[in-house]
A and B are shown apart, each in its own frame.
Chain A
Amino acid sequence: MKLSQATSVGNSAAQLLLGSAALAVVTLGVFSLGLAPTALAYLLVIMAISVIASFAVCSILSLFATLALTLLFAPEIVRLRIDDPRQIAAVVAFFLAALMASGVIAHLRNEKKSALESAAKRREGEADLRHAVKQWQEVFEHNPVMYFMVDASGTVLNVNSFGAAQLGYSAAELTGQSVLNVFLAEDRDFIRKQMGVCLESVGRSHTWEVCKIRKDGSVLWVRENAKAMLRPDGKPIVLVACEDVTERKQAEKKLRESEQRFRDYAETASDWFWETGPDHRITHISEHPEAKGMAPSGVIGLMRWDIAPDLELEPEKWREHRAILDAHLPFRDFVYRTKDRNGVSLYVRTSGKPFFDADGKFQGYRGVSTDISAAMRAEQAEQALRKAQAELAHVTRVTTLGELTASIAHEINQPLAAVIANADACISWLERDPPDLAAARTSVEWIVEDGNRASEVIRHLRALARKTDIEKVSLDLNQVIGGAMALVQREFVSHAVAARTELSPALPRIIGDRIQLQQVIINLVMNAIEAMDAATDRPRELVIRSSGDERGVLVSIADCGIGIDPGLAESIFNPFFTTKPGGMGMGLSICRSIVEAHGGKLSARGNERGGATFDITLPLHQEDAP
């Protein structure tokens, strides 16, 4: 600013100097011609200077010229008189004319200057405008948004090339056509309506989503933002900006389908879904008509163990479950008891997996629960049935043994009665005087016959034991022992016998008849229990052991009963041998027959510390048997 002022002062000084010099030159040139030519020449010089110099400079020069005229033409001034006022007036007129000429020229100069300046400014503004228009044109054309300009009748006035290209057209192809051409037939009424709404509310923008159809017939989803405006001529147009939302729509559709799918699953399943928070409190539980009355209600905010009546009954189960939850591990098929919304006890099987937020922070569990009360009740019923069957089998077996005993008794007692009667008769015949030897002899012959008959019965029974109902299959003898133990459990209790098993975990399987071998074991166990009845001075203990190798399997039944006389260890297996007051002495004989029918051996030995041990050895394969 100061610099420009200084420059201006410098310029004015130079102009003043130049003007003064010009006046001096003119003075020398025209002085001799007199006042009037000199004044005219001064005026011309000042006017010429005023073309380039400011009004102030010209005013000073005018003053200089006036003074010069006054001084140069002094004689006239000396002679100035009232009677010569014309010369004074001429000088004053000169001064005023010089000032006016300078002012007019300065004004003209200023006008011209500002005219030039404004012309320059206008040129600059026009360039800016052209640039801005070009820029906006580019934005309009290439912004990745489809722009449409539509008139009130729906004709496309303008469309950007991006918009046209998105629809497979060129801008020229769309311009002048109805905008409805790029919509599906069924959507055209909707578009007409929306356009109407825009035109009714000029200046307000409206948004909607609709399908557009490309030139090739394919369809895309767009979100349209439209607004009507009035052109300068007062005609309304609608500006539409739209973006392709096909991907979002498809994603939404997939999401909706997925949601619907899971909702369908959830609603058709008899299961219900739950969610728990980071503190394991229930935050959500699915509700649907099928599950009504089934899923527990009013449990939001509670923890699973708050609603489980079996918490106190099975603390270990719950302790393990909570450890899993605290470790944020998934769990499967956890079964617990709870109550439904009617207070009816139900069994629930549940599985869940933890879920975490984006930062990996534990948020809780989500899972599924199923009412398995029916299955549990069925299982309990089945267990009861199995127990009943086992008891029935026990009864049946005892009955069978009883019937067998009665049958054996009858078959043996008949010849036995005959033997005794004939023997008695024989004695009587011999005691006669004289002895009737012939009758005695006949009696003895009958005794032999009766004896033979009795042994025939035994042979028959043994054969029966070998072949009846034998069904040989691959067996785990440990299971057979387990079954037998279950059947005689009541006997252990009622006879105060402590029974235990020491079973080899890797027992080879054998081929045999489960029922027969179980009968052998039951028989031996029952014998052992009876043998211990007399033992009041020591604990009644019974041990069943199993062991095996590549040749066979050994099952030992050891008691601490009355034991076996070493001399009788073999004869106890003979038919009719018994030490029991009510015994028929057939049990061990039949047991041995059964074991031998399996290719095995049954033997007995006395224990060192009292009691007896019965050993059953069975070969792995029947053909190995002698």
Chain B
Amino acid sequence: MSAPPVISVIDDDAAVRAATRNLLIARGYVVHAFASGEDFLLSPELRDISCVIADIQMPGMSGLDLMAHMRGNGNHTPFIFMTAFPDDRVRARALKEGAIGFLAKPFAPLALLSCLDQAMKSEGGGT
């Protein structure tokens, strides 16, 4: 087994951020958690990330803004979105722009893990 995949969790809600990290760590992932997209972009781990799990609504840079920014820089790290305001148009836009998953909070842990598996595959089979 290779080195465990590194996942970034970005959510401005501390409880959700901690719980998601807890869930993933318990499953054996390496998780870096950030309170905002800006913090994440400044982190040294940016290049080693296998998947980004981001909230949509955040003060400052939103989840969608972050993905667009990274895609603009040629970074095609898989994205999974979470949101407490599930909106069909936002979902459609996220999926169209290449997001692996779009989860409404509260999400089922299995749904998240399934999205992650899918992301790992695309990451592994991708560039």
Contacts and interface: CB of A to CB of B under 8 A. Distances in A.
Interface string A418-457: 1111101111110010001001001100100110010000
Given A421-B22, A421-B23, A410 B85 contact: yes
Nearest to B13: A414
Interface in B12-66: 13, 15-16, 18-20, 22-27, 57
B107 A418 contact: no
Most-contacted residue by chain A among B13, B24, B106 (CB, 10 A): B106
Nearest to B27: A428
Question: A interface, how many residues as a size bin?
Answer: 20 to 34
B13 A425 contact: no
Contact of A446 (B15, B105, B109, B112): B15
A406 interface: yes
A415 interface: yes
Which interface class (under 10, 10 to 19, 20 to 34, 35 or more) fits B? 20 to 34
Contacts of A453: 15
Given A406-B85, A409-B84, A410-B85, A417 B23 contact: no
A416 interface: yes
Contacts of B15: 414-415, 418, 446, 449-450, 453
Contact of B105 (A416, A427, A429): A416
B106 A417 contact: yes
A574 interface: no
B109 A420 contact: yes
Contacts of A429: 26
Contacts of B82: 417
Contact of A421 (B57, B85, B104, B109): B109
A110 interface: no
A413 interface: yes
Contacts of A422: 19, 22-23
Interface string B92-127: 000000000000111111001000000000000000
A417 B16 contact: yes
Nearest to B12: A414
A446 B25 CA distance: 15
Given A410-B84, A425-B22, A418 B16 contact: yes
Contacts of B23: 421-422, 424-425, 428
Tell which of A417, A432, A450 has the most Cβ of chain B within 10 Å: A417
Given A428-B26, A453-B15, A421 B84 contact: no
Contact of A413 (B18, B22, B26, B105): B105
Contacts of B19: 417-422, 425, 446, 450
B90 to A, nearest CB: 13
B51 to A, nearest CB: 16
Contacts of B13: 414, 418
Contacts of A436: 26
A450 B19 CA distance: 10
B16 A425 contact: no
B84 A414 contact: yes
Nearest to A447: B19
A343 B84 CA distance: 64
B109 A413 contact: no
A426 B109 CA distance: 12
A315 to B, nearest CB: 56
A106 B106 CA distance: 174
B85 A446 contact: no
A416 B85 contact: no
A434 to B, nearest CB: 14
A265 B115 CA distance: 89
Given A414-B16, A446-B19, A450-B19, A420 B107 contact: yes
A208 to B, nearest CB: 101
Nearest to A415: B15
A428 B108 CA distance: 14
Contacts of B25: 425, 439
A425 B110 CA distance: 11
Contacts of A427: 26
Contacts of A443: 22, 26
A526 B108 CA distance: 31
Contacts of A424: 23, 26, 109
Contacts of B18: 418, 446
Given A417-B82, A417-B105, A421-B16, 14 more contacts: A409-B84, A409-B85, A410-B85, A413-B84, A414-B105, A418-B13, A418-B15, A418-B20, A419-B106, A420-B107, A425-B26, A443-B22, A443-B26, A450-B15
21 contacts: A410-B57, A414-B13, A417-B20, A417-B105, A418-B15, A418-B20, A419-B106, A420-B19, A420-B109, A421-B16, A421-B19, A421-B22, A421-B109, A425-B19, A426-B26, A429-B26, A439-B25, A443-B22, A446-B15, A450-B19, A453-B15
Closest 5 CB pairs of A and B: A428-B26, A424-B109, A421-B19, A418-B19, A417-B105
